[in-house]
């Protein structure tokens, strides 16, 4: 999973996984002025961390699309 990421991204992923393993639910991982990216925990019914997914939030006014959105 880490081989395709640069060293900065690898550090962020490792730190965030540690946070999620300790019980955290979501962490902001990137922000560029028009979009925020988050890593969010996926847990089993007992609360054990199974993995994570990344979600992105557009920060524009009026509901227009973020730059580079497809679809």
Answer whether residue 25 shows pLDDT above 80: yes
Q: Do the domain assignments include residue 1?
A: no
Q: What is the mean pLDDT of the chain?
A: 88
Q: Do the domain assignments include residue 37?
A: yes
Q: Do the domain assignments include residue 68?
A: no
pLDDT band with cut points at 50, 70 and 90 for residue 11: very high
When divided into structural domains, the chain yields a total of 1
Q: Do the domain assignments include residue 63?
A: no
- Could you list the residue range(s) of the whole structural domain that residue 32 is in? 7-58
Cβ 52 vs Cβ 42: under 8 Å: yes
pLDDT tens track for 34-48: 889 999 999 999 999
- pLDDT the model gives residue 1: 73
What pTM does this model have?
A: 0.77
């Amino acid at each position: 999973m880490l081989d395709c990421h640069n060293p900065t991204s690898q550090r962020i992923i490792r730190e965030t996984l540690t946070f999620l393993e300790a019980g955290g639910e979501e962490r902001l991982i990137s922000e560029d002025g028009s979009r925020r990216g988050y890593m969010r925990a996926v847990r089993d019914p007992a609360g054990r961390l199974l993995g994570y997914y990344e979600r992105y939030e557009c920060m524009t006014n009026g509901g227009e699309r973020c730059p580079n959105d497809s679809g």
